Structures are given as C-alpha cells and as structure tokens.
Amino acid sequence: MKKILVVPLALLSFSVNADERLILGSFERLTGEDEVEQIGYSYEASSDGFGLQYLSFKDSGFYFGAGISFSTGDTEICVQSQCESPESGPSDTTFSGEIGWNFDSWTPFVGLSLINEEIDDESDRFWGFTAGLWFDFDKFKLRGAITGISDSSFLSSTTWMSGGFLYQMNNKWAFGAEVAQEQDSEVNRFSFSLYLGRTI
C-alpha cells in the first residue's frame, strides 16, 4: 500500500536584528493521487496537520531550529468499481532539527527528521535528510531545500523539493508559506504549508 508522509519540509526564520528567537505555528496540507486507466486503478490520499517550531537565528552566526508536527488523513484505493480504505488513515508524528551558519545574506543549512507513521495499528519509521539555503531580501527570507526520505532499513527512498518564504511585518509578527513536491514517485504528492509566529 502506498504511504503518505507529512514531511517537515519547512523550519523558517527571518533575520532583521543581530539575534532573533522565534516561535512558529504551522498548518500543513498534503495530497497524493495516482491513476492507471488501463486497469481502472486509482489512488487518492490527503492529510492535514499542525506543528510548532522553535528557532534561534544569529546574524553572522549559528542557526538552530527544532520542531514537532502531527498529521492525520484518509486513503482510498479503487480497482474498477471496488474501493477500500484503511480502518484508520495514516497518522504521522515528526521530530525535526536544523543547523546552519549565516554568511551575510546567505545561510546554508542541513537538517535531520524522524517520522513515525501509523496505519491500521501498524507503525514504521522514516528518516529525513535535508540540505538547503536561505537568502535574506529586505523583510523577506527566501528558502529552497531538497529532502531525502528513507525507510528504517534505508533500502528505499524518495526525494522532495521545496520552496518558501517568510515575511516580517512591522510588529513582531511574521507569516510565511511553503510548497513542496515529491520528485521520484509514481504517486503525485504535493504539500502546502502556512506559518504564523512572532519573536520572543
């Protein structure tokens, strides 16, 4: 059975002062679909989730981010006119972290994620490895990243590419968004995330 993962594809921050600490809440939406018309096969899945991140970002210094997220959803598989769904949809809990270093307007970073997925009382673990770059542009921070997701045996993997932004308003609040798409799978998986937070 195909699996849907909510991947922690975004730990966003912004850099305006020399030393920033930020709390961000997030809403995440992930969809997946596949179809083989010759045999009447179709696959649809969707999940919604929320998350919380703590970020510490220093100008010309060390960046650290840590987060946790949770999601749940539904899956439906049809062959001809017969369709079935798991008794309970996929449920994912993700722990993630990122570290990086700021070089003026550029901040390269790497990250590690642990994803625990449960479907119909069966569980599995996945590891995510992320590498990317932030670019500061006025009140915007732009981000591009690539994430590899491997199962617990490291025998199979998928790749996600993502891009997003974060914008700081005139007060201490900030909002942002990110989109991501899986690159090497027969299932067309796409995710969209919204972020809202403030400095502390």
Task: Note the CATH architecture for domain 19-199.
Answer: Beta Barrel (2.40)
Backbone angles phi, psi at 38, to 5 degrees: -60, -35
144 pLDDT higher than 60: yes
Contacts 24+ apart (CB under 8 A), 170-179: 171/198, 172/198, 172/199, 173/197, 173/198, 174/14, 174/22, 174/24, 174/198, 174/199, 176/10, 176/12, 178/9, 178/10, 178/12, 178/143
pLDDT digits (tens, 9 = 90+) for 35-68: 887 778 888 889 999 999 988 888 888 998 899 9
DSSP string, 23-45: EEEEEEEEEEEEEEGGGTEEEEE
Q: Whole-number mean pLDDT of the chain?
A: 84
Q: What is the pTM of this model?
A: 0.81
Say which residues have a Cβ less than 8 Å from residue 110's Cβ, sequence separation at least 6: 98, 99, 100, 129, 130, 131
pLDDT digits (tens, 9 = 90+) for 71-86: 999 888 888 878 888 7
Q: Please indicate whether residue 11 or residue 48 has the higher confidence score (pLDDT).
A: 48
Q: Please indicate whether residue 61 or residue 97 has the higher confidence score (pLDDT).
A: 97
Confidence of residue 179 (pLDDT cuts 50, 70, 90): very high
For residue 7, what pLDDT is reported?
A: 43
Name the amino acid, one letter, at 138: D
Which among 1, 156, 10 has a CA at the least distance from the CA of 90? 1
The domain spans of the chain are 19-199
Tell me the range of 39-43, 100-104, 129-133, 181-185 where mean pLDDT is highest: 129-133
Q: Please indicate whether residue 36 or residue 107 has the higher confidence score (pLDDT).
A: 107
Q: What SS3 class is residue 104?
A: coil
For residue 88, what pLDDT is reported?
A: 64
- The percentage of residues in the chain with a pLDDT greater than 70, rounded to a whole number, is 88
165 pLDDT higher than 70: yes
Which among 177, 180, 114 has a CA at the least distance from the CA of 145? 180
